[in-house]
Copies of this chain bind each other. A is one copy, B any other.
Amino acid sequence: MKVFGKRTSEGSRQITQKKEKLKNFLKEKGLKSTRQRDLIASEFLKIGEHITAEELYREINKKYSDIGYTTVYRTLKLLNKSGLAAERVFADNLTRYEPLSAEDHHDHLICMKCGSITEFQELKIERLQDRVAEEFGFLAVSHKMELYGYCNKCKDNA
């Protein structure tokens, strides 16, 4: 099994690459590079964790109080369209975003006590999923798999 564990902030190398990719995307689509988009993308990539638009806005707002919530929201949507961010909705029904690399693709363990989100990928499960789909004559395009429970820390002191 491929283990990712908790996300950590990406290195500056990857961040630079991703911001380059965003710039290309913008140019390609006839959109503009702006100070706001640059700062929001940087902060988002730096934080690295699954984060809501609201949470990211709060972080941004500490440093750049002139940047509004709507712009943060729209920039996350933009990052999603450009393939740099994934939109995820877990059991609390909030939309979270996470930095995404080209081939990146994984599932989640979610702690019902502390809310921590851990990532994993298990190819055996994916192969079985494909087999299940096939049995139904179903053409599988994507999937969503979440395990809810208690993380190592929380299961003990609970």
Contact = CB atoms under 8 A, between A and B. Distances in A.
Interface in A1-37: 1, 3, 5
Given A89-B89, A93-B93, A132 B140 contact: no
A112 interface: yes
B145 A145 contact: yes
Given A1-B132, A132-B120, A135-B1, A148 B140 contact: yes
Indicate the member of A111, A124, A143 with the most B CB atoms within 10 Å.
A143
| Copies of this chain held together in the complex | 2
A5 B132 CA distance: 11
Interface stretch (A48-56, A58-66, A72-80, A149-157): A149-157
Contacts of A137: 151-152, 155
A138 B109 contact: yes
A38 interface: no
A137 B116 CA distance: 13
A109 B93 contact: no
Interface in A114-151: 118, 120, 122, 124-125, 128-129, 132-133, 135-151
A151 B136 contact: yes
Contact of A133 (B124, B132, B147): B147
A149 B133 CA distance: 9
15 contacts: A109-B133, A109-B136, A109-B138, A112-B141, A120-B132, A122-B132, A125-B132, A132-B147, A136-B151, A139-B155, A141-B148, A142-B147, A142-B148, A144-B145, A144-B146
